[in-house]
Each structure stands twice: as structure tokens, then as C-alpha cells.
Chains A and B, each alone.
Chain A
Amino acid sequence: MKIIPFWGCMMPLKYPQMELAIRRTLPNLGVELVDIDDFTCCPDPIYFKARDKMKWLTIAARNLAVAEETGLDIVTMCSGCISTLKEAQYLLAEDQALKDEVNKRLKRINKEYKGKVKVSHAVVVIRDDLGLDVVKKSVKRSLEGITVAIHYGCHILKPSQIMHVDDADYPSILDDFVAAMGATPLEHHEKLLCCGKGCMDDELPLDMTEAIFSSIEKSGADCMGLVCPTCFSSFDLGQIMISRKRGKNYNIPVIYLFQLLGLAQGLGPEEVGLHTHRVKADKVLEKIVG
């Protein structure tokens, strides 16, 4: 299966270990990544959208138009990118006047957004197009007994009328993904709480991440598993911030789920960039790789 990866900014520029994990694991599931030029930032659905929603929509539509020209589907691995691109598609489909206005701007560069391209997220492609059995078959190293506290993150699920990824209140897509790798997803109370990154405040985001950390701590999970780079920043660097500002040390390793998949497929921790994380994953890695 051929797909166009829409990498966005956070993965290639801030957390390249995530891009690495994707590039190493998807081919093992029979996916061929066809990189193309000409994408920009999606743009980000929090700050840039807060600055100017019309410009936010225009840039998103340009990215969609670029993808459309190739005739292939685009796949994002970032919850922010999927949120922006899918919402833009939704808005442009429901409001013809808005679409005309955006296309008027795109015409300046001889582009047009027609509304034909399909935008998906890698975990959705895996569940719906490839099937989780393909994940199971790619496993070379047992993750048996490894417990993972999943953090869903908001943007991949909500609003479900746009995202169509899963039930926003009782999602299972990431749990099933982790289970297919052979690890055990663990329930915890704050599994669906927002990481807080979007609030422009010093304390609120820390209150939210702390609520999540203590919920995970109680669950006794070996690590935290997620798919959103912005959430990753809240939890990896976030634990260092909490230790500095509030004197609490949680020591919960935060793993991007495609890094976990890489480990399951037999790759080494450095091959999926786990050595770049602030909170070291040594303990759980000892259990996995010995």
C-alpha cells in the first residue's frame, strides 16, 4: 500500500525519533511511504488558529490541494496535523462560500482545493485498511507482561463528527493497537484527560499532567503510550518541569506507540530513538530487551 506521509513540523523538526520509528516500522506492515515536496506546517490547530482562523484554513487548504494533485491518500502520524486537515476539509465541505473564498486565494498560486483527497491517521490505516493481524504478524519480540497506560490525547478523537476515528468516550483503537503488539494496555482514571498544553497559563497544564501522572502511577503501568507529539512534550519534558517546579518525581517513561511497535518488531531502543527522551526508559527496556 502506497501512502503520502504528511509529517508536519513537530515530528521531523522537534521529535525526529518519531519519524524514525514510523519509517522503520510501517514498511514491515507492507506500507510504502512516498515522500513529496511542497507541504508546509499543517498549520497548528491551537496557536496559529487562535491568531487567524481564515489564514489557518487557507494554509491547510493549500496542503490539501498539494496532496490532491498526487492522487494518493495522505496519512498523518500527528494528532495536531490530523485535527487541522480534517477540520479544514469539514469546514470547506459544509460552507461553499468559505470554500470559494479560500480557493480564490489558492488561485493566486494556480492551485485549487476540490475536496477529493482522503486524509487519515496511521493508526486508522492500520486498523481499517491493513488490519491488526498484520501488526501481530510483524511481531518478532515478545512484549508479554509489559503494561502500557495509554493516553489518547484529544485531537485524534474529538470532535467525532469530524474525526470519525472512534467513540470519543469509550475509545479502543490505541488499546487494540498495543494489544496487537503483544503488550497489555492498562486502564487508568485519567486516560482521556487533556494534557493541558493548549491553555496559555503556567499552572493549569501542570495541574492536568499531574492528575494524569498520579493516575498512571496508581495503575502501576511500566510506561505511558501515546501518539501525539504535543502530548509527548507535556509528559516527557513535562515530568522534568514538575520535578523542578513542584518537587515531584514520577519517572514514567513516555513512549510513542510506533516506537513500541519497533521494539516489538525486534528493533533496538536506539533504532527507534528512545535514547533521545528526557525520562529514561531503562527499566521497561530491561524487561523487553533484557
Chain B
Amino acid sequence: MAKKKVVVNFRFREKLNKIPGGKHHNYCYQCSACVAVCPAARFSKEFNPRKILLQALLGAEEDLLGKDSPIWLCTNCYSCYERCPQDVRPIEVIIALKNMAVEKETAPTNLAKLTENITKTGMSVMVSSAVHRRRKELGLPELKTIPLDEMKEILKDEETKEQSSIEQKTNK
């Protein structure tokens, strides 16, 4: 059998290295200990954390960040993190890959829905009038205040942050 040429996309790997948790992908020695404990692998043939790590080592961007990438099948159970002898923290690498997919706009569309409340309201669950009513019925105290302004301020990216301070200065 003719040997297939292996091409590694180092640029992709460097990008992965920069996201918190991403650089641990370098430590993977492909032992499959993570696969043995992975519930997503147990229930789906399409999912295999060792394979995902191999693809990360190769920088296989299309496989990992494509629309039907298997990374979204990970159930976030941390079993691989517990077991990995190399401190790869596979789930954290997968999460870093998910961040990259979000940036590339290939993440599942419902991810935005599932998270938009946090940046809009500071809470992941909508604080509706029904919530207030149910709490009252159960005799629970009023909800504490949620400091939305502070949260928005710390989430601003650098440029917009500078912009806003310029705006503030001109306003003054």
C-alpha cells in the first residue's frame, strides 16, 4: 500500500493553542483511555474523543469545524478529563474547538439561543412574570438584583471598550 502523505495544518493548531485549554491537545499520545470511559462514544459510533484529538493534532480544520462536526455530540461529562494519563483534558480541547466553530459561524444554531439570555439579562433562564409568580406561591423571597451593567462592561472587547471610553469623554 502506498503511503499517504500526511499534511499538518500548524496554523490551525496555533490558533487552538491560544484558546484556554486548547494547548493541552499537544500532549495526546493516542492511547484511547478517554474512549473507554466516554458515554457519547458508548452510545454513538460517530463520536470518538481519541479521533477528535488526532484530528486536532493534524489540524484537520474541515472535519472539526464543519457543520456536521462530531464535537457537538460530547455530553460534557468530564470522564475523559478524569481518565486521561496525559492531562490532555480532552473535553477542554473540545470546548476550545467549539469556540472556534462559533467564531467560524458553523456552530449549531440553537447554541446562540441557549446562551443569549446570559449576555442580555445576566441569567441563563428568562426572569419572566411567571417566575415571580411561582416564587411567590412557594413563599420564596424576591430575587436579588442582577448587575447587568457590570457584566456587560467586563464582556466588552478591547476596541469597543476604548470606543466607549472615548464616547464617555466626548459626552463629558
Contact = CB atoms under 8 A, between A and B. Distances in A.
| Interface-centre pick from B39, B102, B146 (highest chain A CB count, 10 A) | B39
A108 interface: yes
B101 to A, nearest CB: 9
B89 to A, nearest CB: 8
Interface stretch (B4-12, B58-66, B69-77): B69-77
B86 to A, nearest CB: 13
Contacts of A207: 43
Contacts of B89: 159
B108 to A, nearest CB: 5
B134 interface: yes
Contact of B154 (A10, A13, A105, A159): A105
B129 interface: no
A191 to B, nearest CB: 13
Given A91-B20, A108-B154, A159-B78, A200 B72 contact: yes
Interface string B74-97: 111111011000000100000110
Interface size class of B (residues with CB under 8 A): 35 or more
A51 B109 CA distance: 11
B123 A59 contact: no
B109 to A, nearest CB: 10
Given A9-B123, A109-B154, A204-B43, A16 B135 contact: yes
A198 B147 contact: no
Nearest to A43: B118
B19 interface: yes
B131 A13 contact: yes
A45 B76 contact: yes
Nearest to B134: A16
Contacts of A13: 123, 125-127, 131
Contacts of B153: 108-109
Given A12-B135, A39-B144, A51-B99, A62 B111 contact: no
Given A13-B123, A50-B99, A204 B135 contact: no
A1 interface: no
Nearest to A66: B147
Interface residues of A, number: 62
A38 B145 contact: yes
B159 to A, nearest CB: 14
B167 to A, nearest CB: 14
B147 A40 contact: yes
Nearest to A91: B20
A209 to B, nearest CB: 11
Interface in B99-151: 99, 102, 107-108, 110-112, 114-115, 118, 122-127, 131, 134-135, 138-141, 143-148, 150-151
Contacts of B141: 35
B111 A47 contact: yes
Contact of B102 (A40, A50, A201): A50
B151 A59 contact: yes
Contact of A201 (B72, B107, B135, B148): B72
Nearest to B114: A47
A4 B38 CA distance: 35
Nearest to A45: B76
B145 A197 contact: no
A94 B10 CA distance: 26
| Interface-centre pick from B81, B96, B141, B145 (highest chain A CB count, 10 A) | B81
Interface stretch (A17-25, A213-221, A253-261): A17-25
A59 B155 contact: yes
A146 interface: no
Contacts of B95: 49-50, 53
Interface of B: 19-21, 39-40, 43-44, 72-79, 81-82, 89, 95-96, 98-99, 102, 107-108, 110-112, 114-115, 118, 122-127, 131, 134-135, 138-141, 143-148, 150-151, 153-156, 161
13 contacts: A12-B143, A13-B126, A13-B127, A14-B125, A41-B122, A43-B124, A53-B99, A59-B154, A111-B150, A197-B75, A201-B73, A205-B75, A273-B138
The 4 lowest CB-CB distance pairs between A and B, nearest first, are A198-B76, A158-B78, A194-B77, A13-B125
